[in-house]
Chains A and B, each alone.
Chain A
C-alpha cells in the first residue's frame, strides 16, 4: 500500500527541473510531510496497541481503573481502534462506571453502528443504572443483530428477574437452554424464577436439571435445598445441603440453610450446630448469628440470643431479622424499651413482622 502511494506520488510529483538537492520542492516537502505523518500515525498505532494490550492485562488483574486508563490512551492514539472502545466499556461496566460505559459505547457506535456486542454492553450499563427501559431496548437490538448469542438472552433474563418480571425472565432463560441445552446456569436461574413465582416443584425440577448438567455447582444444590425446605421436603433438603457440603466443605451458606431446615424440623440443637459451623467458617456472616440468636430464643436462652443478635447487628447494621430476634430476646430479658427500639429499627428496615410486634407491644 505504501509503495503504491509512493509510486503514485512519484508520478504526480514529476520533475520540473534541476534544483539544489538540499532544497525541497513543494511536492517533495509535501511528500516528506506525508511520510512524517505516516510515521507519526504508525507510532500512534503502535502506542495504541501497546496501551490496549496493557489495558487487557490490567483488566485481567481486575485493575479496572488502570484498564480504563490504558484503553483511553489506546483510543486517544488511535481513535478508530474499536476494540479499545469496546474493552473500555467492559472495564467501565466492571467498575460500575455505567455512565462512562454508555458514553464509550455511544462513541463506538458512531464508528461501528452495527456492533451487536456494543449494544449488549450498553444494555448492561443501563441495567446498572436501573434504566431498564433503555437496557431492554439495547438487549433487543443486540438480539436482533446477533440472534444466536445466548449471553444476551441470559443477561436479559437476569435483568427481567431483577425487575421481578419472572415470566419474561423464564422466556429468556428458556431461549438460552434452547441454544445451549447444557447451560446449567440458565436452568438454575429459570428454577429461581419458578421459585419466586412460588412454583416450587417446577423450581426443584430445574435445579435438579442444573445439578445434572453440573453437579459441582454448590449454589444450585443450595437453592434446591432451600426450595425443598419450602416444600417441607426436609429429608430431600438435607440431602441437597449435604451434597453441596461434599463438594465444598466450606460452603457456609449450606450450613446456615441446613440449620434453618433443622429449625423447621424442630431440631434446635442440630440447627445451632449448623449455625455455629457456618460462623466458624465465616466469622463475618451475620445471618448465621441472627439465626442462632433465633434458635437460642427458642431454647429460652435469651442472654445467648441477645449476644448473637448483637454480633449480627454489629456485622450488618441493616439486618432487619437480627433486630427482630434481638427485640424478642430483650423483651424476655425485661428490656421492653430496648425491644421496642429494635422492632422500630427492623420496621424501618422493612420487616413486616417487626411492624406487627412493634404495634402490638410498644404502645399503651
Chain B
C-alpha cells in the first residue's frame, strides 16, 4: 500500500514540476520526421536568438532577431513544449520584446524543468521575478548568476543594473506616488502604441502605432509604424486616425514631439543609409508636410531619435547612439544656429541625464525648467523608467529623479507628454494588463496632498450669541379711567314765579360721597353749566335765601343723548312778607270764576303749600282804578276767595289761607296806561306765616 502511495506522489510531483524533454532523437523515436523538423526550427531560431543576444549585450536594439527566432521556436514548441532549452529561449525572445510579460511563464517553466538549462537561466529568472514585482527573490537569482558567471565580459553591468533596479523597485513600489495610471483603451491596440505627444490644451494626441495599416507587413508580419492622431471629445479619445499628408511613409515613422503650439512635429525614420534620423514635419491646415531632415550636425552616421523641442525653440534635445558604443542612446542637445535655415550646431551630450544604458525619449516641459526623459539606467526599477530632472541655475541638469511607481514599473515605461497644467500626462508602457505590446496610459497626478477644510464656528459677538433680552421698550402704562363727561345744564327758579333765583349748589357724587362741584348759580339768570362724569348718581343740594332748601337725587346716565342733561330746580319761597304775583291766574272781566288756564299756576301754589306745611298765606285780589271802589273791592275779594276755595279744594287747610280783596288801593303800576292797568290787575299772595 505504501508503495502505491509513494508512486502516486512521484507521479503527481512529475506532473507538477515537469520534465525536461530535450530535443534528442532518443526522445522522439516514434516521430523522427517531426523531430527532425522541430530540431531544424530550434536551430534556425537559435541562430537568430544568438544574434539578438549579441545586440542586447551591447545595449542595442535586437532588431528583428528575436522576432525571427521566435517564429522558429514557436514551431518547435508546437512539437515539443517540454524542452527547458526551448522554453528558456522563447522566454528570452519575449523578454526583449514589447510583450515582456509573456517571458515570465516560459522562463519559470524552463527553470522548473532544468535549473541549469542555460548559464543565463538565473539571470532571466531574476528578470522574470523582477517583472513580477518579486524583487527580493529576483535579487537572489541575480546574485546566484553573478556568482556563477565566469566570463570576463561586460555583462556584469547588466546584472548590477538589474539588482539596482530591484532595489529601486523595493523602495519605490511600497511608496506609490500620488497619481493614477489608467490604461487608455481607445488609443491602444494589441500592437505597439507609443510615442504620445499631446497638445497643450489636451484636446489632441499624436501617437505612433504599428497596428495593421494600408502598407504591407514585414517578413515577420509586423506592420510599419505610422503616426496617428486622436481628438478628445466628450471625455473620451476618438479612434486614432492616420495623420493626413506626407508625414507617413511605407517605412517606420515615429512621432517624437509635437511643438507646443501644435504646428510642427519632430519625428524619426530610417534614412536611405539605414540609420535612424530625426525629421521635422509642418502642419498646413490639417495636413502634415513631407518630413524634412536636419543637417549632418544632428543626423550623422549614428542613430538619432526621440527628439524634443525646447520651450524657447532655441535648441533640440534628442537621443543618439554611438557607433560601436556600449551605452546605448545618450541624450544630446543641439542649439539653433540660424532658425530660418533650420541649422543647428554640433550636438553636445547632456551628461547629467545620460546613463550607461539607453536614454530617451525626452520631453521638455514648457516651463523651461523641467525635463522628463526615459532611461533604462539610473535607478530604474526595470526597463525604461521615466525620470524628471530640473534645470540647474548656471547650467546643467539636476540628478534625475525616478517618477515613481505606478508611473514606472519593471516593464518599459517611456514617453511622457504632459498637458499644460501638469495635471495629466500620457505615457507608453508595455506593462502587463494592456491590450498587448506598448499601450497608451494616462497619468492623473493628484498634486500636493489636499487639505480638507475644517470649520470652527464661534459667536464672536456676545449680542449674537445671546441677544440682549432687554428690548428697551418703554413700559406699559396704566390705562387712564377718565369717565365720560356729560354736560349738566340747569337753572334755579322760583317754583311759583319761574323767576331766576341765585342759589348755592353742592353736587355730591354718591359713589364716593364726595362733593364734586360747589358753585353759585348766576344771580341774573339762575343758570348753571358744568360737566359731570357720566354713569353716576349724584345728589344736589340747593340753598337760596328765602327759599326752602332743595335737595334731590339724580342720575347722569352713560351715553346721555348729546351728552347733555338739563335740570330745572324750582325753589320754594318761604320768606314771611314776600309778595308774589300770580300773573297766570285769569278771570273773565268783572267775574270771579277762575279760568281753567289758571290752574297750572295755582297747582304750583298748591304744591308749594303742600311741600311747606307750615306756610300760611294771604291771597289778595287787585284791580285797576277803572270802575267804582266798591265794585272793585268786591270783585277783588271774590276773586281772592275763589283762589282760596280752589286751594282748599286741592286739600289745603283753610286756616292756612286768608282771602283779601284790596280793589285798586294797592296799585303796582300806573293806571294811566293800559299796560300799567294790566299790571295792577293781579292776584297776589303774601307769606304771612312759616
Contacts and interface: CB of A to CB of B under 8 A. Distances in A.
B274 to A, nearest CB: 40
B446 A331 contact: yes
A36 interface: yes
A42 B484 contact: yes
A358 to B, nearest CB: 11
In the A-B complex, the 6 residue pairs with the smallest Cβ-Cβ separation, listed nearest first, are A364-B202, A294-B452, A15-B525, A185-B462, A219-B465, A192-B460
A21 interface: yes
B456 interface: yes
Contact of B477 (A52, A186, A297, A332): A52
Contacts of A144: none
Interface in A255-269: 256-257, 259-260, 263
Contacts of B461: 158, 161, 188-189, 192
Contacts of A290: 453, 455
State the main secondary structure of chain A at its contact with B: helix
A7 B453 CA distance: 83
A39 B532 CA distance: 11
A22 to B, nearest CB: 7
Interface in B451-473: 451-463, 465-466, 468, 471-473
A306 interface: no
Contacts of B531: 2, 6, 35, 38
Given A45-B482, A53-B477, 17 more contacts: A10-B519, A16-B525, A46-B479, A46-B482, A120-B472, A158-B461, A185-B462, A222-B458, A222-B459, A226-B456, A229-B456, A256-B457, A257-B456, A324-B453, A361-B421, A363-B420, A364-B423
A167 interface: no
Interface string A262-288: 010000000000000000000000010
B527 A15 contact: yes
Given A22-B566, A32-B563, A39-B563, A287 B457 contact: yes
A90 B419 contact: no
B484 A43 contact: yes
A325 interface: yes
Interface of B: 180, 200-203, 235, 419-421, 423-424, 444, 446-447, 450-463, 465-466, 468, 471-487, 489-491, 500, 517, 519, 522, 524-525, 527-531, 562-564, 566, 568
Query: Chain A interface: which size bin?
Result: 35 or more
Nearest to B524: A15
Contacts of B457: 253, 256-257, 287
A328 interface: yes
Contact of A219 (B419, B459, B500): B459
A328 B452 contact: yes
B525 A18 contact: yes
B467 to A, nearest CB: 10
Contacts of A253: 457-459
Contacts of B235: 337
B566 to A, nearest CB: 5
State the main secondary structure of chain B at its contact with A: loop
A141 interface: no
A10 B423 contact: no
B568 A21 contact: yes
Contact of A291 (B421, B454, B478): B454
B452 A9 contact: no
Contacts of B471: 59, 90, 94
Contacts of A10: 519, 528-530
Contact of B479 (A50, A151, A334): A50
A21 B461 CA distance: 74
B421 A363 contact: yes
A49 B473 contact: no
Contacts of B450: 328, 331, 357
Contacts of B563: 32, 35-36, 39
A201 to B, nearest CB: 17
A200 interface: no
Nearest to A321: B453
B454 A49 contact: no
A107 to B, nearest CB: 15
23 contacts: A15-B527, A17-B524, A17-B525, A18-B500, A28-B489, A32-B562, A36-B563, A46-B481, A185-B466, A192-B461, A210-B462, A217-B465, A217-B466, A219-B465, A222-B459, A223-B460, A253-B458, A290-B455, A295-B454, A321-B453, A331-B446, A363-B420, A364-B419
Contacts of A192: 458, 460-461
A83 B474 contact: yes
